[in-house]
Amino acid sequence: MATSTSSLPEVAAVSVKRKPNPKVLLAIAGVAVASFLGWKLLVPPPPSNVLHVSGRIEADETDIGAKTGGRIAAILVREGDSVKAGQVVAEIVDEEVNAQLQGAIAQVAAAKQDAAQAKLDIQVANSRIQEAEATVIQAQNESRGRVNQSVSTVSATKAQVAQAQAQVAEAQAGIKQAEARLKLAQVDRDRYADLVAQGAINRQQFDQAQTNADTTQATLDTARATFTARIAAVQATKEQLAASQGSLTQSQSSTLNPTIRNSQLSAYQQQKQQAAAKLAAAEAKVKNAQAAQSQLQKRLDSFKVRSPIDGVVQNRPLEPGAIVATGKTLLTVLNPQAVYLRGYVPEGDVGKIYPGKPARVFLDSNLKQPLRAKVSAIDPKASFTPENIYFQKDRVRQVFGIKLAIEQSQGYAKPGMPADAEIDIKP
């Protein structure tokens, strides 16, 4: 039996768009915000591996002072000039020390002349001893003795000529020494004259300086007269030498008393001993004079001011002609290669860093190329510390000063430039 099915009318599917309910959306957004805030409160943020610091580029400064007081003769560099360690950067003068040095040089020359004279005296004494010994032999052998006596006489006369010539040289040295002393006395007199004019000393001190200068002038005049007299003595001894050489060929026999000649020999030997003592004293005088000269020369060398470091002149507070005291700063020099960032770290973060911690410094002029650095120093005390601190929130507001030494500034980092830094605080 066939069954029949009744056909139903077909209904087409049609999508109908509805507008969202604003209240529902607001509720969903509120739930989302509340969930996010709750997550932020419950889940702490991940710890940062760097500590940010801001500050300025600085460099250590070195003050160059005068080792001794005096007048500045020259300052050889200016601000911005580069200097090397050991380079002479300034010179100081002291006229009195210069005059003392010239006097010491003259004393050395005079002492050396005294030593030379003592040596010559020994030679003369030896010559006389030889003459006396020859005379004793002549007493034993008249024939040969007469010849030996004449030869010894000529030898002694030659020694006397040499002695007279040495005395001329000694007189010349005396003139130089007297001239040096006169120059020093005149310097003192002129200086006292200025001081009297300024009212710094009384007239009596100047009169003493004037008297000293006059006395020194008289000494110089005497030395010059002595020089003239010794020139005449040289001429006389030369004439005596000519006469003794003439008598050598005309020697005649004579009877000599050995006892007398032996006493003369003893006298000459005593003269030699005295000359040897004078030589030792003169050589000691030479050493003392040379020591004084060396000391004055070292003092003059200390007037040359040298830079202790390589660097750049930062400040030149004085000019040539100024009078400075010992230790007065003449120049300030800094080393542009040894620069660092001076910054401050909150007290709460200072425990995260220590000297040697690596860091990077960013210059405003080139933020893309940081400079390698490391923590080189941390202040032992916090800055701006109040007298009394009771609350924790006040304590964490304190800051500690730090230094970040820049390893290779390459001339980019210059003192005074602002800069930022990141310190690696990874555990």
Q: Give per-residue pLDDT as tens, 281-321.
A: 888 888 887 887 777 666 666 678 889 998 889 899 989 98
pLDDT bin (cut points 50, 70, 90) of residue 140 is low
Q: In this structure, what token pair is assigned to residue 263?
A: 């006493």
Neighbours of 417 (CB within 10 A): 15
| Superfamily of domain 47-94+309-427, CATH level 4 | Efflux pump adaptor protein, beta barrel domain (2.40.30.170)
In DSSP terms, 93 is beta-bridged to: 71
Higher local confidence (pLDDT), 129 or 97: 129
Say which range, 29-33, 169-173, 274-278, 396-400, has the weakest mean pLDDT: 29-33
Say which range, 47-61, 126-140, 179-193, 404-418, has the weakest mean pLDDT: 126-140
Q: List, for residues 182-229, the tens digit of each pLDDT value.
A: 888 888 888 888 888 888 888 888 888 889 989 989 998 998 898 888
pLDDT above 80: residue 58: yes
Say which range, 137-151, 168-182, 268-282, has the weakest mean pLDDT: 137-151
Distance between CA atoms of residues 91 and 102, nearest Å? 19
The helix/strand/coil state of 359 is strand
pLDDT above 80: residue 259: no
Return the domain boundaries, the chain: 47-94+309-427, 95-301
Distance between CA atoms of residues 248 and 264, nearest Å? 21
pLDDT above 80: residue 326: yes
Q: List, for residues 80-109, the tens digit of each pLDDT value.
A: 899 999 999 888 887 666 667 678 788 778
8 Å CB contact between 315 and 79? yes
Query: Residue 208: left (phi > 0), alpha (psi -120 to 50), or beta?
Result: alpha
Higher local confidence (pLDDT), 52 or 120: 52
Distance between CA atoms of residues 137 and 55, nearest Å? 103
pLDDT above 70: residue 32: no
Neighbours of 18 (CB within 10 A): 5
CA distances 227 to 8, 77, 104, 169, 213, Å, are: 163, 50, 22, 8, 21
CA distances 164 to 158, 234, 239, 267, 385, Å, are: 10, 5, 12, 21, 88
Q: List, for residues 372-417, the tens digit of each pLDDT value.
A: 999 999 999 887 644 444 445 545 578 899 999 998 877 788 888 9
Distance between CA atoms of residues 328 and 379, nearest Å? 30
